[in-house]
């Protein structure tokens, strides 16, 4: 059914326009003059923007929020000690709890304006390591959670073969392991036939966990499958110095150099994190038209490091964003953090200002525009769908913000995007629409109470 939406302002082609309505069914049909539109839903005092795309998430990790912000006396805490705590939680969750925890994370995403997620999913088996009778039971629980909340999901099914190069197997990883590429592909093919993928709201990608967890032959086999079947490929790359060292030991190359020289980088490939990289590696990523996904709120929480996003963007690499560990679900915070890390590192401001400083590129929202496209179009490109904008033909996925919210009140159309990207409080998000269907109205989701209640029950058990 066609529906016109009439807010005060609509963000199209990098600018806010007034006096226009957005006409959609499940996709965007057109913009039309406000005076000519029939029976619009009037969104007074609101600005409408394309839905945010969260390209990297581990939904179940929502259960450890607030549980890892301390350390044992006289010890040093790091990514690796955090991982122990994360594994302990992962290994206790039942399928129903994985559904409920994921639904909580997806609810929080929806409330913040996220309309699609790339879910990097690595829990496959029962807590004792035995496969479920349906080897994709947990994948399907996570897809069900996204569908019940109403956001789109790219389920990036993870391949995990080993603890690491020359490492004993880790009993904490038994829920992840599919030791051979044959097993992985058999299960993946079965998932590709799942009935819940029929309507385009959910789809599948291939996610070799990391160079550490997947040996080269395995990696080549599953990436070849992904390329043949036109599936996106996501992989953790260069998040921690220890990963780089281990890769040099095994292959005498860094992870990105390995992926490049083995011909595994392509426009379908997204390197998640990409922090410890050389200029030459960035050029290789650009040459292969591959993508990078940064997760700054998680990276700062885990002490991973900061991404050289200026170098990636200037080389033409699309950079998307992910909420990753769910320490915070607010993709605009990730967007602003990209620029803020550079300011802190370089003792400068507006580092990401477009290098082409024509009048057109020097307006008040020029930097914000670049960051906002990381949170929208680059995210959609990374997870493999045509969202992230309000062009005719794009999915009707969008959100609105309250122009009187104290965090952005007083903004002009020229600097509204800079207000949104640098200062918006998540509470300013009022409506969220996915595929033409409103899933959040007036800042609330219809199933919000039930989702929160069942999540609280899990948290008290854990
Ligand atoms: Zn991750």
């690796």: which residue's tokens? 80
**pLDDT over threshold 90, residue 325:** yes
Distance (Å, rounded) from C-alpha 266 to C-alpha 259? 10
Q: Report residue 359's pLDDT band, with 50, 70 and 90 as the boundaries.
A: low
Neighbours of 310 (CB within 10 A): 18
Q: Report residue 368's pLDDT band, with 50, 70 and 90 as the boundaries.
A: very high
How far is the centre of ligand 1, averaged over its atoms, from the C-alpha of 12 (Å)?
Answer: 31
Distance (Å, rounded) from C-alpha 459 to C-alpha 462? 5
The model's pLDDT over 172-199, given as tens digits with 9 standing for 90+, comes to 898 999 999 999 999 999 999 999 998 9
Q: What is the mean pLDDT of residues 76-84?
A: 83
Q: What is the mean pLDDT of residues 147-166?
A: 96
Q: What are phi and psi of 2, to 5 degrees?
A: -75, 140
Residues 6+ away with beta carbon under 8 Å from 200: none
Tokens of 266: 């392509």
Q: Report residue 449's pLDDT band, with 50, 70 and 90 as the boundaries.
A: very high
**pLDDT over threshold 70, residue 163:** yes
For residues 160 and 174, the answer to whether their CB atoms sit within 8 Å is no
Q: Around ion ligand 1, which residues have CB less than 5 A away?
A: 324
Residue 266: predicted pLDDT? 98
Residues 6+ away with beta carbon under 8 Å from 182: none
How far is the centre of ligand 1, averaged over its atoms, from the C-alpha of 156 (Å)?
Answer: 11
What's the number of CA atoms in the CB half-sphere (13 Å) around residue 193? Answer: 7
How far is the centre of ligand 1, averaged over its atoms, from the C-alpha of 270 (Å)?
Answer: 12
Tokens of 213: 């967890």
Q: What are phi and psi of 345, to 5 degrees?
A: -75, -35
Cα–Cα distances (Å) from 132 to 35, 55, 127, 137, 408, in that order, read 57, 28, 10, 7, 49
Q: Quick one: which H or E segment has residue 89?
A: helix 79-90
Q: What is the mean pLDDT of residues 78-85?
A: 84
Residue 361: predicted pLDDT? 66
Q: What is the mean pLDDT of the chain?
A: 95
Burial of 193 (0-12, 13-18, 19+ CB in 10 A): exposed
Q: Which of 284, 203, 184 lies closest to 238, judged by CA?
A: 284
How far is the centre of ligand 1, averaged over its atoms, from the C-alpha of 218 (Å)?
Answer: 20
Residues 6+ away with beta carbon under 8 Å from 96: 141
**pLDDT over threshold 70, residue 357:** no
Q: What angle do CA 270, 211, 301 make, to 5 degrees?
A: 70
Residue 72: predicted pLDDT? 77
Residue 398: predicted pLDDT? 98
How far is the centre of ligand 1, averaged over its atoms, from the C-alpha of 285 (Å)?
Answer: 19
**Strand pairing class (3-12; 20-24):** antiparallel
* Percent of the chain clearing pLDDT 90 (strictly above): 89
Distance (Å, rounded) from C-alpha 257 to C-alpha 277? 9
DSSP-derived letter for residue 402 is E
Distance (Å, rounded) from C-alpha 256 to C-alpha 278? 9
The model's pLDDT over 237-266, given as tens digits with 9 standing for 90+, comes to 999 999 999 999 999 999 999 999 999 999
Q: What is the mean pLDDT of residues 58-68?
A: 91
How far is the centre of ligand 1, averaged over its atoms, from the C-alpha of 171 (Å)?
Answer: 20
For residues 213 and 235, the answer to whether their CB atoms sit within 8 Å is no
Beta strands in 129-257 (DSSP E): 152-159, 202-208, 233-237
Q: What is the mean pLDDT of residues 190-209?
A: 96
Distance (Å, rounded) from C-alpha 134 to C-alpha 18? 51
Residues 6+ away with beta carbon under 8 Å from 101: 59, 60, 62, 63, 93, 455, 458
Q: What is the mean pLDDT of residues 299-307?
A: 93
- DSSP string for residues in 208-249: E--TTTS-HHHHHHHHHHHHHTT--EEEEES-SHHHHHHHHH
Residue 86: predicted pLDDT? 85
Q: What's the chain's Rg over C-alpha atoms?
A: 22
Tokens of 141: 């629980």
Q: Which residues are catalytic?
A: 273, 324
Q: Which of 423, 278, 271 lies closest to 339, judged by CA?
A: 423
Residue 356: predicted pLDDT? 74
Residue 335: predicted pLDDT? 98
**pLDDT over threshold 90, residue 84:** no
Q: What is the mean pLDDT of residues 441-452?
A: 98
Q: What is the pTM of this model?
A: 0.97
For residues 400 and 429, the answer to whether their CB atoms sit within 8 Å is yes
Distance (Å, rounded) from C-alpha 391 to C-alpha 385? 14
């Amino acid at each position: 059914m066609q529906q016109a939406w009439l807010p005060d302002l609509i963000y199209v082609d990098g600018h806010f326009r007034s006096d226009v309505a957005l006409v959609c069914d499940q996709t965007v049909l057109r913009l039309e003059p406000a005076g000519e539109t029939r029976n619009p839903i009037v969104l007074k005092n609101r600005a409408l923007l394309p839905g945010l795309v969260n390209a990297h998430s581990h939904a179940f990790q929502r259960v450890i929020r607030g549980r890892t912000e301390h350390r044992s006396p006289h010890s040093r805490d790091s990514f690796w000690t955090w991982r122990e705590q994360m594994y302990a939680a992962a290994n206790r969750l039942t399928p129903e709890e994985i559904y409920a925890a994921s639904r909580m994370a997806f609810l929080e995403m929806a409330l913040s304006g996220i309309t699609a997620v790339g879910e990097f999913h690595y829990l496959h088996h029962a807590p004792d390591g035995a496969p479920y009778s349906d080897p994709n039971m947990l994948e399907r629980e996570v897809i069900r959670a996204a569908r019940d909340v109403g956001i789109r999901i790219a389920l990036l099914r993870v391949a995990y073969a080993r603890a690491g190069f020359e490492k004993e197997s880790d009993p904490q990883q038994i829920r992840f392991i599919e030791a051979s590429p044959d097993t992985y592909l058999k299960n993946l093919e079965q998932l590709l036939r799942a009935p819940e993928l029929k309507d385009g709201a959910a789809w599948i990608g291939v996610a070799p966990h990391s160079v550490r967890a997947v040996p080269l032959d395995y990696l080549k086999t599953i990436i070849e499958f992904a390329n043949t079947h036109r599936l996106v490929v996501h992989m953790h790359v260069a998040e921690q110095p220890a990963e780089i060292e281990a890769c040099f030991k095994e292959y005498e190359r860094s992870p990105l150099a390995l992926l490049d020289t083995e011909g595994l980088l392509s426009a379908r490939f997204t390197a998640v994190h990409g922090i410890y990289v050389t200029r030459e590696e960035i050029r290789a990523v650009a040459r292969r038209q591959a993508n990078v996904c940064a997760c700054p709120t998680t990276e700062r929480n885990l002490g991973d490091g900061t991404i050289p996003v200026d170098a990636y963007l200037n080389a033409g690499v699309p950079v998307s964003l992910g909420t990753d560990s769910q320490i915070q679900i607010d993709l605009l915070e990730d967007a602003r953090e990209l620029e803020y890390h550079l300011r802190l590192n370089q003792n400068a401001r507006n580092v990401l200002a477009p290098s082409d400083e024509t009048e057109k590129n020097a307006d008040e929202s020029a930097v914000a525009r670049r960051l906002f496209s990381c949170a929208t179009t680059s995210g959609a490109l990374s997870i493999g769908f045509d969202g992230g904008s309000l062009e005719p033909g794009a999915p009707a996925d969008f959100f609105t913000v309250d122009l009187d919210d104290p965090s952005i009140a007083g903004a002009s159309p020229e600097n509204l995007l800079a207000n949104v990207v640098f200062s918006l409080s998540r509470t300013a998000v009022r409506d969220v629409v996915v595929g033409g269907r409103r899933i959040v109205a007036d800042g609330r989701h219809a199933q919000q109470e039930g989702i929160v209640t069942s999540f609280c029950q899990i948290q008290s058990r854990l």
